[in-house]
Each structure stands twice: as structure tokens, then as C-alpha cells.
Amino acid sequence: MTNPLLAPWVTPFGIAPFDLISDEDFAPALDVALAAHVAEIDAIATSQEAPDFANTVEALEMAGQDLDKVLSVFFTVAGADSNPVREELQREFSPKLAAHFSEISANTALFARVGAVWDQRDALDLSEEQARVLMLTHRGFVRSGAALEGADEDRMKEIKSRLAVLGTQFTQNLLADERSWFMELGNDDLAGLPEFVVASARAAGEEKGADGPVVTLSRSLIVPFLQFSSRRDLREKAYVAWGARGANGGETDNRAVAAETLALREERAKLLGFENFARFKLDTEMAKTPDAVRRLLKDVWEPAKAQANADAWVLTQMMQADGVNGALQPWDWRYYAEKRRKDLHDLDEAELKPYFQLDRMIEASFSCASRLFGLQFKPLDVPLYHEDCRAWEVTRNGEHVAVFIGDYFARGSKRSGAWCSAMRAQAKFPQVQSPVVMNVCNFAKAEPALLSYYDARTLFHEFGHALHQMLSNVTYESVSGTSVARDFVELPSQLYEHWLDVPEVLSEFAVHAETGQPIARALLDKVLGASTYDMGFSTVEYVASAMVDLEFHDGAAPADPMARQAEILAAMGMPAAISMRHATPQFAHVFSGDGYSSGYYSYMWSEVMDADAFAAFEEAGGAFDSERAKALEEHILSTGGSRDAAELYVAFRGRLPGVEALLKGRGLAA
């Protein structure tokens, strides 16, 4: 019987046939796909034809299509619906894949052909996109160590293999800690919790097999618990468990994993001729240097810290008025900040939350995409990997554009956080292929499914990434969609968050779950008026994480990352009642792979642009200005990485932005 992962996918729009695929199919399919890819690479490297763009660079673009199919399905289910078999396969696959791609990057005959094409680039009459693909291909080989020889080449292979193992281990350790801990709540433990939190806790209890409601370490449940629970002892217990993920000792402890990862990254960078890993990583980003990142973070840090310290004084007075003496603690901040928000803005999250129904927020994100870019969304009835998943066909003017899949609810088999991925990226070469794009979130599952305002922003954020994938219109997959500089990739996602705050969007889609009434203008004004509330806190916890990430990599790798983390935070003057958004043992952005390593700052780098980009709409005809939407698609969403990121932004806006719009948008401007 043919392995369904390798057989032609005779399904609507070529979606993976999840109903036919079993865990037993992955290992044999991977072996076949790897062997096929090796043969394709060898054919390119040993070709007797003189190297040119078609037989070398385009041939590399065509190679590995079966491997892409296998890995797209495997990593989808491994991240969003894991089980012991998939976790074991992930541990087995990681070093195997690292070795496979190391062999390709170290293939001297192949690199010689790429180098020959690169050397004759000015005489090849390439299109702008082809020239970009050639540059990226050549640069990728160099940065992977293709020019290394002898012992250095062998050591680079060892480093890559070990880093792949460590990244998988870090992710699985974190998932194990998040999955294993929960706190059961008796009737007396529900004090202060609004019904929507209780409903989410009951749903979590059912999933855990408990007799009643529980608090888990899912952000969508633990954050509202910390906001509303009047039981300070339980808030402390939950917060300590949340902060201890990856640092509980034993087999799932991530501290040694982080230390070894940092040391290997430093060694890798030095093998490639860079002073440290931050300089290696940032060399290809918009920021270019650690000093440029540091300037941005410090420009934002000082006003944010000043605001946070002022807020901490107020919250401490509130706490002491409740008869609690001593210093404000991290498990107190959200509770008293929520009370203060209710006082300042007469805004109660329990009153607000029924207006943010998941289904209506999905509709809102679709509606904005329709008004801006002419997209339409039609539900698809196709087999997917979990019963919680939903799919839509995306069209424009009756023409198929993409398939969009949404997987929105938290569960024990899903890693934490939210992400967007393309199971198939858009391309026109070697044949036209439309994208299959996924958004994965971790919202609390209840009936009806209600989101916090933060959750709704997360939904819009990930859908902004999805639009970047779906509206891509390039020839080569290697520069398709979100294949852009890391500090540019968050621009479309963070920009799209702004449309959630457009009053006419909220008026139409923020509808009460029980009464069906649209959100009242007075409540809407409160929501928008409170949009920058507690921004000192959220900015401080983010910038602290970004600065720790940068300093970890811009210098000698610390033998004890936790001690170095403490040093960095002390030097910054970190407010005592606020913790990093992601402490080192749970910093998956940085340690589960190289994606955001030395690059967590990129959310803020992109926010400088997204604040300025949305201002362009406001300066024109408003949030749905057709000319600005057309320019956004033409210069940013459709172009992927086919041109330099700064060049694309200037083409859209006419100039690069400063930090002023960001500070104003966060309510931190002087």
C-alpha cells in the first residue's frame, strides 16, 4: 500500500489527507523523502552542464517536494496535537534532519556551482526576484558553513545536530511541565472569579479528568485567574508554578539546555568569522547590529519603566488598603491592575468579555480582509488533524486564493502560544501552487467560546501573518509569504491588530453572547479609551525579555544563564513586581530553535513600522482607505522576501519611521 504522505493528494485543493495518515506513516515516509532529496541534490551537484541559474538555483528550488509534504504534516501535528509517539519521532527526526541539511550545505561541488552562478550574476540578465533568490541562496550556503573545511566543517555539522536535539528537548520539556501541572478549585476557591473564568476552568477540569474546575498553565486561563481571584494564596501558588516551567529540576529542567545552546551558538558564530552570535544573526536583518537593537529597546525602556514604577506605587496603596502589608508581588499586579482599570475606566472585563465571542471575532477578521483586499471566506468540509480545527476556502472575484485552517482551543497536546504556519507556501515555479495556511491559538474552550480583549488581538495578529502568506504573489517559494527578515515579519501581523480597534468593526462584531445586542457606544468608548491602560507593565515585561535575549548572544555565552539573566535585569533596574514575559527556562521563542534567537526584539522593531503604517491609513481616507490597502498589498503583503525589507517599507510609506509613533500608540510619549 502506498504511503499516504507520499502518494498524490487527491483532495480538495491538495490539502493533506489527514484521515488517511497514521503515526506509523511518518518514519518510513521521511526515509523515502530524504533519499529522494539526496538523489536530487547529487544530480544538481554532479551535473556536467555548465552551472547557470536554471540548472542550479531553480533546480534547488524544485528539489525536496516530497520532503516538504512529509515535514509540513508532521510538524503541524507535532506542535498542535502531540502524543508520546509523535514526541519520540520528533526526538528521532531532529538530529537526522540537521545532519541531512548539514550535508547539503557542506556539499563542496554544489556550493561551487552556486558560487559560479553568483560570480557571473551581472551577465545573466536575471529578473529582480531571480537576483534576490540567487543572493539569498549563495548567502545561505555561506552562513551555513559551506566555505568551511576539515575540522571546522566537521565541527559545524556536530553543532547543528546538537542544536536541533536541544531545541526539541527544550520544547518538549516545556510542554511536559505545562501539561502536568494543574490546581483543582473547590467552591471556596472561586472567590472573585467571573462566570466566564469558572466556565473555562470547568472545561479545563473535564480535559484533565478532574472532578471540578482547575487552573492550568495555559495563558488564556491563568491570566484571567490572576486578574480576578481574590484568593492571594492561590494566585501566588498559580503564579509560582507558571514561572517555574522549565525550571523544576529533574528531566524536564531547561536551564542546562539553555546554557549548552548559548555556548554552541557562540561557537557556531565564531566558526563563521563573527565575534558573537548576535552579530552573526543580525547581519541579515533590518537592524544589522546589536547596538541598533539596544538603542531601540533603551528608547522605549526608560519611559515604560517610569510609567510602570508610577503604576506600582498606586497598586501598592490599593493592596495595603485591603489590609495586605509588604511589597507588591508579581501575583498581585494583574489583580490590582484589573481593579484599577474598573475604577479609572469603569471597565469590567467580566462585563466586556461576552462581547468578544470567538466566532464573531473570526468573522470580524474575515470582514476586514474582505473590505481591504476583496477576499471572501467559505467554510470547507474536509478531514483535518483534530476535531477542533476548521477550514475555509479563500477566494477573490470568484478565483481560488488559498485554504485557511484555524485551530483555536487550548489542549494538553498543544504547545503553548499562538502561531501561523504555511502547510504549503504560494509559488509559481515549477508550477503554480496556492497556499494552505494555518493559525493555531490557545484560547480557553467553553460554551460559548469567549475571548479576552488580549485574545482577540492575538487572533487578529495571527491572521495578519496568514494574510502575508495568502496574498503572496511571487515566483519562487524560497521568498514567498513570511520568508522575510525576522524583524520585518511581524509588521503585517501587528499592523492587522489595529483593525480590531476600529470603532465600526467593534460596533458590528462585538455582539453580546446572550442578548445579541451590539456593544454600546459608551462601553466601546471605554474599551478604546483603556487601550493603552497598563502599558507600562506590558512594555516592561516585553522589553526585559528582548534585552535578556540580546545580551545573552552579544558577548561570551554565560555558563549560568539564570545568573546572567539576573545581572541583566538588575542593570536595567527591572521593577520588582514585574517579571520577564518569558523567563529563560520557558523562552521557547529563543531556545526551541534559532527563529527568534537574538531576535525577540523584532516585535518592537516591527511595531515602530506598524504604528507608522496604520497612521498612513488614518492620514488618508481612514482605516479602510482603498489606495492605502492597495499599496500595502502591492509593496508588502504580496512581495514576500523578493526585495529588501527596508526598500519595501519605503515603497509603501515613502520613508522609514522613527520611534515616536510607537511611544504615542502605547501611551508612553512624554
Across the range 5-20, mean pLDDT stands at 96
pLDDT of residue 69: 97
What is the C-alpha to C-alpha distance for residues 181 and 177, in angstroms, rounded to an integer?
6
Segment 441-469, tens digit of pLDDT: 999 998 899 999 989 999 999 999 999 99
- pLDDT band at residue 41, thresholds of 50, 70 and 90? very high
* Domain 12-147 indexed as CATH 1.20.1050.40: yes
Segment 398-442, tens digit of pLDDT: 999 999 999 999 998 999 899 999 999 999 999 999 999 999 999
Q: Which of 69, 64, 80 is nearest to 26 (CA)?
A: 69
- Residue 111, pLDDT above cutoff 70: yes
User: From its phi and psi, is residue 452 left (phi > 0), alpha (psi between -120 and 50) or beta?
Assistant: beta
Cis peptide before 28 (omega within 30 of 0): no
- Residue 278, pLDDT above cutoff 70: yes
Across the range 86-95, mean pLDDT stands at 96
Identify the weakest region by mean pLDDT among 250-254, 339-343, 511-515, 525-529: 525-529
Q: Which of 111, 101, 149 is nearest to 272 (CA)?
A: 149
pLDDT of residue 391: 98
**Catalytic one of 462, 477, 541, 607:** 462
What is the C-alpha to C-alpha distance for residues 321 and 318, in angstroms, rounded to an integer?
5
Average pLDDT, the chain: 96
What is the C-alpha to C-alpha distance for residues 280 and 276, in angstroms, rounded to an integer?
7
- pLDDT band at residue 322, thresholds of 50, 70 and 90? very high
At 246, is the secondary structure helix, strand, or coil? coil
Spans of all domains in the chain: 12-147, 185-241, 251-347+535-600, 354-529+603-665
Across the range 311-320, mean pLDDT stands at 98
pLDDT of residue 500: 97
What is the C-alpha to C-alpha distance for residues 23 and 11, in angstroms, rounded to an integer?
20
pLDDT of residue 665: 86
- What is the DSSP secondary structure assignment for residue 58, as one 8-state letter? I
Fold of 251-347+535-600: Neurolysin; domain 3 (1.10.1370)
CA distances from 665 to 532, 608, 614, 661, 669 (A): 8, 10, 10, 6, 8
Query: 422-434: b or e for each residue (b if 16 or more CB lie within 10 Å)?
Result: bbbbbbeeeeebb
Across the range 557-564, mean pLDDT stands at 98
- Residue 361, pLDDT above cutoff 70: yes
Domains 251-347+535-600 and 354-529+603-665 alike in fold: yes
Sign of CA dihedral 83, 86, 90, 92: positive
- Residue 518, pLDDT above cutoff 70: yes
Across the range 271-293, mean pLDDT stands at 97
What is the C-alpha to C-alpha distance for residues 134 and 57, in angstroms, rounded to an integer?
7
Taking the model in full, what pTM does it have? 0.92
- How would you classify the pairing of strands 182-184 and 214-216? antiparallel
pLDDT of residue 670: 63
pLDDT of residue 650: 97
Half-sphere exposure at residue 472, Cβ-oriented, CA atoms within 13 angstroms: 34
* The CATH number of the domain covering residues in 354-529+603-665: 1.10.1370.40
379 touches 406 (CB < 8 A): no
Q: Is 618 a catalytic site residue? A: no
pLDDT of residue 18: 97
pLDDT of residue 106: 92
217 touches 241 (CB < 8 A): yes
- pLDDT band at residue 659, thresholds of 50, 70 and 90? confident
